Structure 1
Amino acid sequence: MTMATTVADVVTPDPLTIEATGTVRDAAELMRAGNIDDVIVVEDGVGIVTDRDLVVRVLAIGGGSKVPLRQACRGPVTVGPTESIERAAQLMSENAVRRLPVIVDDVVVGVVSIGDLAVERDADSALADISAAEPNT
């Protein structure tokens, strides 16, 4: 088995996306339907919103389900598929993020997570076990 060296080797392709004009509820429904905890937000660039963002940036301050998604969205740090997985890990560490949208010519082609890197680098670690497990529904 060869060890992955680039983001392209570990990327999760075709992430779910949503327009920034959607609502917090739209994003939550998309996450639920896809059994995922983040969606890529597209509008004049790229952003990302996680289930935690919805809670901390909207619900915890009194916002409701009809709040425009752009209020919860963060402009993410991105990476290209040819970047090394070491560079991806470094970007995650430097920016305190757990996911990086993977971009080619300003188009989102995938997402790489800290779990993806953990599975690749230390398949016997607790994080790798959690990341490789089937999601709870």
Structure 2
Amino acid sequence: MGDFAREAMAPGVVAVPPDVSLAEAAQPRRAQDVGDVLGGDGGRVLGVITDRDVTLRAVADGAAPLTVSAQAVCTRAPVVVGPDAPVATAVSLMRGHAVRRLPVVERGRPAGVVGLGHLAVAKDPTSVPAGISRAAPGGTTGGTRV
């Protein structure tokens, strides 16, 4: 595994303004095949929008995706890590804050995201979590349906 967050992160970031609708925030997620979107304003990370956020804070309440803003469902003021932070620091932050993803921020701007899957791939590319993280969406990993 690399020693620094920059070596374990998924580079590039999907960012949307906080006032866009959930439907608008979902479009770049689909186009770029990513699970997380950062809500930002002027390059600053204001929040993280995960599938879980959308499910628990919008869908479960029956909210309409065209009328609910990304800001309304995002996890605000997320814990972030710098690209030169040791991977151990990222892991410690994820454990301490019970999060699965950390935005990587360089000079106040988002540079990428470190997630549990990225760490699994970096540590042991042959592990089950690494295989799941690399799998194509829709369950095309060749597994057995239960």
By the TM > 0.5 criterion, same fold?
Answer: yes
**C-alpha separation in 2, matches of 1:51 and 1:26:** 14
1:116 corresponds to which of 115, 118, 126:
118
Task: Quote the residue 2:142 is aligned against.
Answer: none
Q: Who is 2:72 aligned against? A: 71
Q: TM-score, normalised by structure 1?
A: 0.91
- Structure 1: which 5+ residue stretches go unaligned? none
- Which residue number corresponds to residue 57 of structure 1? 57
DSSP-derived class of the 1:82 partner: coil
Secondary structure of the residue aligned to 1:103 is strand
3-state SS in 2 of match to 1:108? strand
The RMSD of aligned alpha carbons is 1.6
C-alpha offsets along residues 34-60 of structure 1, whole Å, 9 cap, x if unaligned?
111111110264111012211111111
Which amino acid counterpart does residue 58 of structure 1 have in structure 2? A
- Aligned to 1:20, the other structure's residue is in SS state coil
2:7 maps to 1:9: yes
Instruction: Indicate the SS of the match to 2:80.
Output: coil
Cα distance, 1:136 vs structure 2: 3.4
- Once the two structures are aligned, what percentage of the paired residues are identical? 36
Structure 2 alignment gaps of length 5 or more: 140-146
**Structure 2 counterpart of 1:57, one-letter code:** R
The answer for the alignment partner of 2:134 in structure 1 is 132
Query: TM-score if structure 2 supplies the norm length?
Result: 0.85
Q: How many residues align?
A: 135
Letter of the structure 2 residue corresponding to residue 112 of structure 1? V
* Alignment check: 8 A CA contact 1:22 1:68 kept: yes
Tell me how far 1:121 sits from its aligned partner: 1.5
Please give the alpha-carbon distance, in whole angstroms, between the structure 2 residues aligned to 1:38 and 1:100: 10
1:5 and 1:84 in contact (8 A); partners too? yes
Counterpart code for 2:104: V
Counterpart residue number, 1:107? 109
Deviation at 1:120, TM superposition (A): 1.4
Q: How much has 1:114 moved relative to structure 2? A: 0.8
